[in-house]
Copies of this chain bind each other. A is one copy, B any other.
Amino acid sequence: MLRRMAKQKAGQGKQGKQDNQGKEAGGRITPRAEDYPQWYQDVVREAGLAEPAKVVKGCMVIRPHGYAIWEKIQRDLDGRFKATGHQNAYFPLLVPESFIKREAEHVEGFAPELAVVTHAGGEKLEEPYVIRPTSETIIGYYFSKWIDSYRDLPLLINQWANVMRWEKRTRLFLRTTEFLWQEGHTAHATHDDAELEVRRMLDVYGDHAEELLAMPVVRGVKTESEKFAGALQSLCIEAMMQDGKALQAGTSHDLGQNFGRAFNVMFQTEGGARDYVWQTSWGVSTRLIGGLIMTHSDDAGLVLPPRVAPIHVAIVPIFRKAHERDAVLEAAARIKAQLEAVDIAPEGSRYRDFLSVVIDDRELRPGAKYYEWERRGVPLRVELGPRDLAKGQVCVKMRLDTAAGAGKEFLPEAEFVATIRARLLTFQAELLARARARLQEQAVTIDTWDEFQRVFAGDKSTFAWCHWDGTRETEARIKELTKVTIRCVPLPGQGPDPEPGACVLTGSPSARRVLMAKAY
């Protein structure tokens, strides 16, 4: 039986099996160079992260290994939200259909993707409900009941929830009809305050992506065509996947007074006047897991930074004879207990992050086990046999060769335990450094349309810093010709320093370069 990392109370009987041991385990992972989209699907399946729901169009089932990653993402983000003064709440799943129609741009953006409840309790409803595609409208309605005076502001709310958008083309984690996310909704007395909030939460997302997921991002502003339906302005973080495509990994919107007006969210100002509140909203979703996969993983499967890994260490006991078995398993249990007392949470953290360790004592040959734990992205593997025991050592292998360790290393048990925290944190830092270096090296500056076409020929993509004349028409034309979109106008300190130039398509004047790429 495979021992799970969770601490088990004595006498509570059998533990559950890892759910990856069913029919689907052990399939092939297509090499990235052969077919990148297929590689992605293979990694998701072989790591036991998720599978297409099939019987529910465009939905997915998030399997335990995938959901455990989401839990770590949630814990980190939730701590950051609370540290910046936000409170969680929960609003209804269903939204009256008429609510969606109150904000003109909003309904245009979301109407085609809605799932509609027309019947309930055996009767046809007088007014249909839609399943929330996002909650600006219904939360706006409650804000109008909760907010009366400037003393009630800012109101800083977050919701962890499922949402639904009926997408035509779906892909596990990246775009599914139902997905899990958080949506922040805040109301402020002034536009300045709202803008500060929008920027603050973008930085929370950027820091989370870099510090937890080891996924470097470019922080910027969406163009008018790409902004959220109903916002004045949308900020975003964009990550570069290994194939050079961009992933919009999080957005933070300045809603202005648009939803305030639509839902009559008014307050008395300090001066005694009545005004609409200034609102923001911001969200990240299970899509982050897709970005995580495509930032670090390789042809052997998933690679996970330790801070987001559900399992940190897999111990594979090795023995041939029955009498060896007991000694090896006893040593494995001893090492597991020592490792599980190691907390890798950042210093000063409000939560604990103890290592989770699996002893894989299934009746399989060791090679099959190594292969499986590699596919599942476990950062560190320990091999433990009678010879190691005799020498008081363990054989350690990191998921990737980095400054945290390369090849098989033989270490005294005590040294291994004493240094594991540092080793895993070095591995985390290395993954971020590698991803940063890739972004740096692959990003290009393009000044001519010929070169632009060459760089983005066929399926090719990268992060390209290009001049753009600032018009919606040029943006649309570039997309039509090449499928490349403007990912963002970078915020200060992101991308090349601003310098004027000529639009890569039209040659018209441009104030600064923007980030262009094909996108997921």
Q: Residues of A with Cβ closer than 8 Å to B?
A: 4, 6-9, 12-19, 21-24, 53, 55-57, 59-64, 67-68, 70-71, 82-96, 99, 111-122, 128-129, 131, 138, 141-142, 145-148, 151-157, 161-162, 164, 166, 168, 178, 180, 186, 193, 196-197, 200, 350-352, 354
Take A89-B19, A162-B93 as given contacts and tell me if A6 and B83 are in contact as well, using a CB distance cutoff of 8 Å.
yes
Q: From residue A3, how far is it (CB to closest CB) to chain B in Å?
A: 10
Q: Please, which residue of chain B has its CB at the minimum distance from the CB of A148?
A: B23
Number of copies: 2
Give bound CA distance, A61 to B147, whole Å. Answer: 15
Cβ B89 vs Cβ A63 within 8 A? yes
Question: Apart from A64-B88, A350-B354, what are 8 other A-B pairs with CB-CB below 8 Å?
Answer: A16-B156, A16-B186, A17-B155, A22-B145, A59-B92, A68-B87, A90-B180, A118-B118
Q: Please, which residue of chain B has its CB at the minimum distance from the CB of A162?
A: B93
Give bound CA distance, A389 to B55, whole Å. Answer: 67
A-B contact pairs, 23 of them (CB 8 A): A7-B350, A8-B83, A13-B197, A14-B85, A14-B154, A16-B87, A16-B154, A16-B155, A19-B89, A21-B152, A22-B147, A56-B129, A57-B120, A62-B90, A71-B88, A94-B115, A111-B122, A112-B121, A117-B131, A118-B118, A350-B354, A351-B351, A352-B352
Q: From residue A329, how far is it (CB to closest CB) to chain B in Å?
A: 18
Q: Please, which residue of chain B has its CB at the minimum distance from the CB of A13?
A: B196
Cβ B56 vs Cβ A95 within 8 A? yes
Cβ A166 vs Cβ B121 within 8 A? yes
Cβ B13 vs Cβ A146 within 8 A? no
Take A16-B156, A22-B145, A350-B354 as given contacts and tell me if A82 and B121 are in contact as well, using a CB distance cutoff of 8 Å.
no
Cβ A89 vs Cβ B116 within 8 A? no
Q: From residue A507, how far is it (CB to closest CB) to chain B in Å?
A: 41
Take A23-B148, A116-B119, A352-B351 as given contacts and tell me if A64 and B89 are in contact as well, using a CB distance cutoff of 8 Å.
yes
Give bound CA distance, A147 to B119, whole Å. Answer: 35
Cβ A67 vs Cβ B90 within 8 A? yes
Give bound CA distance, A83 to B310, whole Å. Answer: 15
> Which B residues touch A121, using CB under 8 A?
112-115, 166, 168
> Which B residues touch A7, using CB under 8 A?
82-83, 350
Give bound CA distance, A147 to B269, whole Å. Answer: 62
Cβ B62 vs Cβ A93 within 8 A? no
Take A92-B61, A115-B119 as given contacts and tell me if A6 and B155 are in contact as well, using a CB distance cutoff of 8 Å.
no
Cβ B87 vs Cβ A19 within 8 A? yes
